[in-house]
Structure 1
Amino acid sequence: MIVWAIANQKGGVGKTTTTVSLGGMLAEKGKRVLLIDTDPHASLTYYFDIDGEDGSATLYDLFMHGKEVDKEQVTKVIQSTRFENLSVMPASMALATLDRKLGPQSGMGLLLRRVRKLLEDDFDFILIDVPPVLGVLMINALAAANRVIVPVQTEFLALKGLDRMMGTLDMVQDSKGLTHDITIVPTMYDRRTKASLEAYQELRRKHGKLVWNGMIPIDTKFRDASTAQTPISMYAKGSRGAFAYKGLLQVLLSQEVSA
């Protein structure tokens, strides 16, 4: 099983769009894909018309079961979507209370790693949409993943946020004894503006080979696909955005094969 965490400590950079787009394309390839929403805002959950506040089991319930969580409890939380091979583990607003409730408890940073092991035979890929806050949810996502995908908006302030995220990755890797493959993905690139070009060049200068040699463009089809609650590759296959994510996925898969 391959697990990717899509993370950045700055909001609004395209984490959910990246998770949904890559997940949808993997499902179209026949891969069994689970998307895990760890963000209390639950954007990924609502993307697939799932209501995490309707009383159904959510990721929050697994944290309440704690270190003894079992396969039956995990399976109960997973919801299928109307898209073949694509399932979702939904979030709820209650996740926002976890740091207060569970932060001091030993081992709670490894719950998603246990979930990963329990689902080893059920899915080929798990993609985790990570909240932009350093806490128990981000720690869990990073501890469960073998690759961290960092979407970064191509504008100056987003580059500053990336520095914070890279520092967090170093800290988590040191404290948990982890080694991640890291892929920085430039997003919301506007080729008409000098600011986007300069931000992209600065990304390449500072982070070198960690930066994907491409970019995700601004594309209104992303918004339309979200409104239709459909991954962009299924909603607008010929769009610039879908083409860009297809290129990114090809690179990621080739790196997984060679790893």
Structure 2
Amino acid sequence: MIFTVANQKGGVGKTTFLINFAYYLKDFKNKSVLVIDTDTQANCSYSLCNANIIGDTYSLFTDDVNILAAKISGIKKDEINLFKSTIDLSNENEFDNSINYLQNLKYLYTLFDYILIDTAPVLSNKLIYSLELSNYVITPIELEIYSLQGLSLMLNTIFNIKKNRNNDMSFLGVLPSRVITTNKRQSKNLEKLYSEYGQDLFLPFIKYRNDLANASASQTSFFKSNSKHKKELINVFDTIYAKM
């Protein structure tokens, strides 16, 4: 399965979700997992620096599938495998052709149960290509005004690609993240979203937990921390997994 996490707004918990969902799939569902970091900020690559690095994401766009297959070595199905971000991804003009990326992901699809793609918070060819290839897509948001303003644009992008380029894509939902349940403004914003879009479009929210941020900063799995809130996140992930 190819699973893309996408939002054109940064700072919404996108990478934190993806990292811990990768650990969830590996540790709780016994799935082989590959993470592809397409974001030049490389936050995902930083937090997964202890993963099994099998290549860099730039090569997925530049190498044909035969060259890539020859390069890859040391895949470890019992670990998270990673194509890391590099500065080479920053020149968007280089990514106007999706042929190599398409063929390489089709090849990698045969090697792993799940491919998770972290995308940059900008509308780019890398994001478009990833959505075109995805079986499943999730859009994390923060319940603050700047994040909410860009939601309709992101949803329009996703559903236009689904309609015109990838009919098999399943949009699993909008995922409110970093939710402070005692914050009246956020609660009001969530109610407004439910009213505007329909509650069925939304996944169970992830509460703001400092332990989550600490785990990412410490480059470790949240599920291996001492946090008393692990069950909360597992319940959200169980819901997402059940929808796939």
Taking structure 1 as the reference length, what is the TM-score of the superposition? 0.83
SS in structure 2 at match of 1:44:
helix
**1:91 Cα offset (Å):** 0.9
Change (3 A) 1:24 1:69: same
Instruction: Tell whether the 8 Å contact from 2:109 to 2:115 is kept in structure 1 after alignment.
Output: no
Q: Which runs of 4+ in 1 moved over 4 A?
A: 77-81
Question: Is 1:246 matched up with 2:234?
Answer: yes
Q: Residue in 2 aligned with 1:210? A: 201
Change (3 A) 1:195 1:87: same
Backbone CA RMSD of aligned residues: 2.4
Q: Residue in 1 aligned with 2:65? A: 69
Q: Residue in 1 aligned with 2:31? A: 31
Distance 1:112 1:8 in 2: 20
SS in structure 1 at match of 2:231:
helix
Instruction: Tell whether the 8 Å contact from 2:2 to 2:109 is kept in structure 1 after alignment.
Output: no
Change (3 A) 1:166 1:127: same
Distance 1:222 1:177 in 2: 33
Q: Residue in 2 aligned with 1:8? A: 7
Q: Residue in 2 aligned with 1:102? A: 95
Distance 1:78 1:223 in 2: 32
Distance 1:38 1:78 in 2: 21
Distance 1:112 1:224 in 2: 33
Change (3 A) 1:43 1:156: same
Distance 1:167 1:78 in 2: 39
Question: AA paired with 2:61?
Answer: F
Q: Select the residue among 46, 58, 64 that pairs with 2:56.
A: 58
1:174-189 to 2 correspondences below 5 Å:
174-182=163-171, 183-189=173-179
Question: AA paired with 1:69?
Answer: V
Query: Can you give the 5+ residue segments of structure 2 that lack an aligned partner in the other structure?
Result: none
Q: Residue in 2 aligned with 1:200? A: 190
**1:237 Cα offset (Å):** 5.3
Q: Quick one: percent identity of the two aligned structures?
A: 25
**1:22 Cα offset (Å):** 0.6
SS in structure 1 at match of 2:109:
coil
Q: Residue in 2 aligned with 1:92? A: 86
Count of residues in Structure 1 that have an aligned counterpart in Structure 2: 239
Question: Is 1:147 matched up with 2:146?
Answer: no
Question: Is 1:224 matched up with 2:217?
Answer: no
**1:156 Cα offset (Å):** 2.2
**1:80 Cα offset (Å):** 6.4
Q: Select the residue among 159, 164, 175 that pairs with 1:170.
A: 159
SS in structure 2 at match of 1:128:
strand
Distance 1:27 1:135 in 2: 29
Instruction: Tell whether the 8 Å contact from 2:37 to 2:118 is kept in structure 1 after alignment.
Output: yes
SS in structure 2 at match of 1:119:
helix
Instruction: Tell whether the 8 Å contact from 1:78 to 1:89 is kept in structure 2 after alignment.
Output: no
